[in-house]
Structure 1
Amino acid sequence: MTSAVPSAVATALEDVDPELRAALLACWTDVSNAGGAVGFVPPVTADDVAPALDALLTRVAQGRERVVVLRVDGELAGWAVLSLSVSPLRRHWATVLRVQVHPARQGQGLGRALMTGVHDAARDLGLEMLHLTVRGGYGLEGFYAGLGYREFGRMPGAIRVAPGDDREEVHLFVRL
């Protein structure tokens, strides 16, 4: 799958080798420490993130999730996860998780390239719809609206980033 950014290529993977695992871990740690809303609150170390990554990679190995990696000139620039439903009633859609572009690569249109790759991978899997959530207060709703996502709900106080600092979880979906 090739994106709109000429040297950027997004690929869905069913398995991850140790070299890619190390790159995913470094990216996730760097994005988290740059303030990215990808499951952690800074500061974090690779040791903090590794258990979550390894659990994710177990689900990938089980066929329950796919990692979509974005490479620029062969180097990991970002990644996301397609989490597939195990329910036969929900196999026509998936949830997108952990969308991230490395901080050194942000501002180059790579978020859009990554999401285009996610959409392509979802279509290749026969999916008809995607769901994702964003952490309120980051203004990400506009980015996703530009990709066709529509908001369908907000859960106040769903995300606690610190004592006394609760954020909304905003639910979005797109039909492919």
Structure 2
Amino acid sequence: MRTEVCPSTTVDEELRAQLLRCWVDVTNAGGAVGLVPPVTADDVTPLLDQLVERAADGRAVLGVLRVDGAVAGFAVLSLSTGPLRRHWATVLRVQVHPALQGHGLGRVLMTGVHAIARDRGLEFLHLTVRGGTGIEKFYEGLGYREFGRMRGAIRVAEGDDRDEIHLTCRL
């Protein structure tokens, strides 16, 4: 299996379709990537369009994970545009297609995102995870440390509020 994580600030129609399929499939498999299942492409499209626009105007970089040349996942580096935080970025929407999970590709993706961030001169990354999933342990294994929680910030369903856990990593 040949893997690579490539930075992208432009998204053509083919890549856009692959990212959309991935995001829909990850969400419907229970992935905490901004939505609650079930979703359709129509639900995800506005969010994807926002990411594509942010990448096109230099406010974000997509880290696209490919396995044997095919899109297998992605993450977003949301760049700070203010002069005081240009050494920081926020990582958003980290996802590996459900059919490929369990093979260490999440680590490959995040290692690639870290390399992209370093290449851009970034020194710190920030991300949030949804409480109740246990995913924070994965990020801790990559050097992230929790620095705060917003109790009950994420409402997954009526009566099911989750913490938003904030993590940071020095590159």
- AA aligned to 2:13 is P
Asked if 1:148 corresponds to 2:163, the answer is no
Give the distance between the partners of 2:161 and 2:150, measured in 1 at CA: 11
Q: What is the TM-score with the length of structure 1 in the denominator? A: 0.96
Identify the residue that residue 156 of structure 2 maps to in structure 1: 161
Asked if 1:72 corresponds to 2:67, the answer is yes
Q: Which runs of 4+ in 1 moved over 3 A?
A: none
Percent identity for Structure 1 against Structure 2: 71
Identify the residue that residue 167 of structure 2 maps to in structure 1: 172
- 13, 17, 24: which one aligns with 2:12: 17
Gaps of 5+ in 1: 1-5
Give the distance between the partners of 2:161 and 2:97, measured in 1 at CA: 25
Identify the residue that residue 55 of structure 2 maps to in structure 1: 60
Give the distance between the partners of 1:73 and 1:118, measured in 2 at CA: 18
Identify the residue that residue 31 of structure 1 maps to in structure 2: 26
Give the distance between the partners of 2:61 and 2:86, measured in 1 at CA: 14
1:86 CA displacement: 1.1
Q: What is the TM-score with the length of structure 2 in the denominator? A: 0.99
Partner SS for 2:16: helix
- The CA RMSD measured in Å over matched residues stands at 0.6
Gaps of 5+ in 2: none
- AA aligned to 1:45 is T
